[in-house]
């Protein structure tokens, strides 16, 4: 459905996206995950032809997208990160305007269905620019779905929504996928997409660190664990010695306590005890705890991410 080959975008001295190789398959929900500034929105803008890639190839619906191509967007629905409406149109008129741009001749019944589903029916004649952020987000989703696209691109689709709105949007996305649609969701919050995404790609610093199924990703991330060690005296040499261990991703010191993030499939506590003893440290307490998927994702994208990419064998 979407395929990118060595897609790169460079802005003078800043590399926004580097050698990105994505493969979004038909009928799946693909979660495009990464912290703010990772290059997600830049990638989406390149997919839509809003900015031109510096290099690389981009294929949508199996056809290469070149400069000036725009007809392919008839089969795509897009929800922007910050929905902006500035015209004098009501919510209803705005969606009808876009429906006409997409070539929908009688959009009324579909619009009615979507406005009801997202609780905007009562306010449909209000000015779209006066809607709250959450309402504008829902309106963007209606606009994106009115022409029954084959591919739905969502950039942070639930930002600004209350919990009820989040549930409504998730239900619509799930129903859309079940009807055969393909969804490409970009988010910086794993929990937003972990329930619905079939596969996930994690982007960091413009590079794709991991691309895997949700189960595969859970397996990779589950190798991470948090360990809290209390020692009699913490010295810089001890911290340095611990941090130099290959299975230690992160060390944080707080008084006599050391909070470690480890990545290993084995139990490394005995090895770590020896390292501390060899460095002259005396362990008072050692406590391990499992990391949530969210915590593990944050660790991946904030600490030593590229090293982890090498470790996991990601492209």
Partner 1 sequence: MMQISTSMIGKLRSSPAVWALRWRVACEIARQELRDALYSWSFYLTAALGPLLSALFVYNSLNFVANSGLQILARPFFVPVLLTTTVAALYLTAWAALAIARPRDQGALRVLFFAPVDEYGVIIGHILAGTILYAALLLVAAPLLALLALLTNLPLPPLLLLGMVFSPMYAAAAVALGLWISTVAGSSRSAMFFFGAILLATLVIPIGYTALLSVPATGRYYDALLFLRGLVRTLRDLLSWISPYALISSGLDAALRADWGDLLQRLAVGAASCVGWGLLAIWGLKRNGVLS
Cβ(17)–Cβ(206) under 8 Å? yes
Q: Which is nearer to partner 1, 96 or 204 (CB)?
A: 96
User: Cβ distance 183 to 150 under 8 Å?
Assistant: no
Contact 146, 102 (CB under 8 A): yes
Minimal distance, residue 100 CB to partner 1, in Å:
5
Beta carbon of residue 148, minimum distance to partner 1 (angstroms, whole number): 6
What's the token pair of residue 190?
A: 């794993």
Strand partners, 259: 228, 252
- The minimum distance between CB 170 and partner 1, in angstroms, equals 21
Residue whose CB is less far from partner 1, 144 or 268: 144
Give least dist CB 158 to partner 1, A: 18
In the complex, least distance from residue 308 CB atom to partner 1, rounded to whole angstroms: 32
Residue 264 CB, nearest approach to partner 1 (Å): 44
Question: Could you give the CA distance from residue 304 to residue 250 in angstroms, rounded to a whole number?
Answer: 8
Q: Which two tokens stand for residue 214?
A: 């949700």
Smallest separation, CB 40 to partner 1 (Å): 15
Q: Using the minimum distance from each CB to partner 1, give the nearer residue, 107 or 281.
A: 107
* CA angle, 61 then 115 then 129, to 5°: 90
Residue 98 beta carbon to partner 1: minimum distance, rounded to whole angstroms: 6
CB of 90 to partner 1, least distance (A): 11
Residues lying near partner 1 in the complex (CB under 8 A) are found at 45, 48-51, 61-63, 68-76, 78, 80, 82-89, 97-98, 100-106, 110, 140, 144, 147-148
Cβ-based nearer residue to partner 1, 84 or 270: 84
Map tokens 């705890």 to a residue: 289
């Amino acid at each position: 459905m979407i395929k990118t080959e060595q897609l790169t975008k460079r802005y003078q001295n800043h590399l926004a996206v580097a050698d990105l190789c994505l493969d979004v398959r038909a009928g799946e929900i693909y979660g495009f995950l990464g912290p703010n500034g990772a290059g997600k929105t830049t990638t989406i803008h390149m997919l839509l032809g809003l900015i031109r890639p510096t290099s690389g190839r981009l294929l949508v619906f199996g056809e290469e997208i070149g400069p000036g191509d725009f007809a392919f967007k008839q089969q795509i629905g897009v929800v922007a990160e910050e929905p902006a409406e500035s015209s004098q149109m009501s919510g209803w008129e705005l969606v009808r305007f876009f429906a006409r741009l997409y070539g929908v001749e009688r959009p009324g019944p579909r619009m009615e269905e979507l406005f009801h589903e997202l609780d905007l029916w009562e306010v449909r004649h209000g000015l779209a620019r006066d809607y709250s952020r959450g309402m504008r987000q829902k309106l963007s989703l209606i606009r994106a779905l009115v022409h029954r696209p084959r591919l739905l691109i969502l950039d942070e689709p639930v930002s600004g929504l209350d919990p009820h709105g989040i549930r409504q949007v998730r239900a619509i996305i799930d129903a859309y996928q079940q009807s055969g649609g393909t969804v490409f969701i970009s988010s910086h919050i794993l929990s937003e997409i972990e329930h619905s995404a079939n596969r996930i790609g994690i982007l960091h610093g413009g590079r794709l660190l991991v691309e895997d199924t949700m189960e595969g990703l859970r397996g990779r991330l589950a190798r991470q664990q948090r360990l809290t060690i209390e020692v009699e005296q913490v010295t810089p040499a001890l911290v340095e010695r611990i941090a130099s261990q290959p299975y230690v991703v992160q060390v944080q010191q707080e008084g006599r306590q050391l909070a470690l993030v480890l990545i290993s499939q084995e139990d490394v506590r005995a090895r770590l005890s020896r390292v501390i003893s060899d460095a002259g440290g005396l362990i008072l307490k050692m406590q391990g705890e499992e990391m949530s998927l969210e915590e593990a994702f944050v660790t991946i994208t904030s600490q030593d991410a590229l090293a982890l990419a090498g470790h996991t064998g990601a492209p």
